[in-house]
Amino acid sequence: MDDQAKVLQVLKNAGVPLSQKEIEAKSGLDTKVVDKAMKALKKEAKIVSKIHCKWEPNHE
C-alpha span between 19 and 25 (Å, rounded)? 10
Q: What is the pTM of this model?
A: 0.91
Query: What pLDDT digit, counting tens, does each position of 27-55 carry?
Result: 999 999 999 999 999 999 999 999 999 99
Neighbouring C-beta atoms of residue 35, cutoff 10 Å: 15
56 pairs with which residues across the strands? Answer: 48
CATH of region 3-57, choose from 3.40.50.2300, 1.10.10.10, 3.20.20.150, 3.40.920.10:
1.10.10.10
